[in-house]
């Protein structure tokens, strides 16, 4: 993949991991098509890119969980840049909560994970990623351009307490590369690789929305002993883009998580 001539489409590009990927690939000379929900978020992201000397980008406001928005997003990317090479669907959210919360004394249920919180997470993380991947893949397959799709899973695909909605969405996404690449082989779509990544705890605004004492205890299970920086994720994607042997799988980047920490004596 010649990154200087590559067109990179990133959703959730106004914040966190998506914004770091935009900066990194922008500095490498790629053309950027940057998508997020809010115009203001995109404006700030655009101003930042200009401040670091990255000028070859277009921003596009869309709700990636909406089928029509997804179609418009892809059409506009092709209209502007003529092709899409790398697709990184980073848009995502969390709405943490336990399935059931009991009153200590009476054992009566005082709250439960709401259907809205369940649906919001599945709509954006899973349905949105599906739409972005499907609609970009359609154009990339027809265009025959060298391509790479990078669905974003999470280390919490392993099943994080308080994140039934989020973990469910991320385990599903971790299967995208295997299933899609199998279908591409069947249909002789050989120009597109699909490699997922499953980051561990990464320093972004999303983590600020987590229960901070839970996060602190989770970090004790990380061998690296610190949060991952978004730039470290961007560099992994740069590597994936140049290594054709990586395909049909989801790669973890976690700093070394030991799930059984606290049990071993």
Q: How far apart are CA 90 and CA 149, in angstroms?
A: 11
Q: Note whether 92 binds ligand NAP by CB under 6 A.
A: yes
Among 78, 207, 214, 251, binds ligand NAP (CB under 6 A): 207
* Tokens standing for residue 81: 């840049």
**Residue whose Cβ sits closest to ligand NAP:** 16
**Do 247 and 193 touch, CB atoms closer than 8 A?**
yes
Angle (CA) 229-235-241 rounded to 5° is 150
Does position 206 bind ligand NAP by CB under 6 A? Answer: yes
Structure tokens, 263: 């049990």
Q: 167 near 259, Cβ under 8 Å?
A: no
Q: Which residue's structure tokens are 């320093």? A: 203
Interface with ligand NAP, residue 36, by CB under 6 A: yes
CA distances from 213 to 19, 97, 220 (A): 26, 14, 11
Which position among 1, 90, 137, 171 is part of the footprint of ligand NAP (CB under 6 A)? 90
Is residue 256 within 8 A of residue 224, CB to CB? The reply is yes
Smallest gap, in angstroms, from Cβ of residue 254 to ligand NAP?
9
Interaction of residue 64 with ligand NAP, rule CB under 6 A: yes
The token duo for 103 is 């009153």
Site track for ligand NAP across 137-156, x = CB under 6 A: ---------------x-x--
Q: Which of these segments, 49-57, 183-191, 194-202, 243-251, binds ligand NAP (CB under 6 A)?
A: 194-202
Instruction: Write phi, then psi, for 54 (nearest 5 degrees).
Output: -95, 120
Q: Could you say which DSSP state residue 256 is in?
A: -
Q: Given the complex with ligand NAP, which of 31 and 160 has the nearer CB atom?
A: 160
Residue choice 26, 193, 201, 236 for contact with ligand NAP (CB under 6 A): 201
Q: Is 204 an interacting residue with respect to ligand NAP (CB under 6 A)?
A: yes
What is the rounded CA–CA span in Å between residue 84 and residue 215?
Answer: 37
Site string for ligand NAP, 105-124 (x = CB under 6 A): -------------------x
* Beta-sheet pairing, 7-11 with 249-253: unpaired
Report the nearest approach of ligand NAP to the CB of residue 121 (Å). Answer: 9
Residue 214 interacts with ligand NAP (CB under 6 A): yes or no: no
**For binding to ligand NAP (CB under 6 A), which residues are involved?**
11-12, 14-18, 36-38, 41, 63-65, 90-93, 124, 128, 152, 154, 199, 201-202, 204-207
């Amino acid at each position: 993949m010649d990154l200087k001539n590559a067109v990179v489409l990133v959703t959730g590009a106004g914040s966190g991991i998506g914004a770091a990927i935009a900066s990194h690939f922008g500095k490498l000379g790629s053309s950027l098509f940057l998508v997020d929900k809010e115009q203001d978020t995109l404006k700030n992201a655009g101003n930042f890119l200009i401040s670091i000397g990255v000028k070859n980008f277009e921003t596009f406001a869309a709700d990636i969980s909406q089928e029509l928005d997804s179609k418009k997003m892809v059409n506009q990317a092709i209209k502007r840049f003529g092709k899409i090479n790398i697709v990184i669907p980073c848009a995502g959210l969390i709405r943490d909560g336990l399935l059931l919360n009991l009153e200590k004394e009476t054992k009566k249920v005082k709250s439960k994970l709401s259907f809205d919180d369940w649906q919001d997470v599945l709509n954006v993380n899973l349905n949105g990623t599906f739409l972005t991947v499907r609609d970009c893949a359609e154009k990339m397959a027809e265009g025959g351009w060298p391509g790479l799709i990078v669905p974003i899973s999470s280390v919490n695909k392993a099943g994080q307490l308080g994140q039934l909605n989020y973990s469910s969405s991320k385990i599903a996404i971790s299967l995208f590369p295997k299933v899609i690449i199998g279908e591409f082989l069947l249909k002789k779509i050989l120009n597109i690789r699909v490699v997922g990544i499953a980051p561990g705890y990464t320093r972004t605004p999303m983590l600020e929305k987590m229960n901070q004492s839970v996060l602190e205890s989770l970090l004790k299970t990380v061998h690296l002993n610190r949060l991952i920086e978004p730039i470290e994720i961007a560099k992994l994607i740069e590597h994936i883009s140049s290594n054709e042997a990586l395909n049909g799988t989801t790669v973890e980047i976690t700093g070394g998580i030991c799930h059984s920490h606290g049990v071993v004596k």
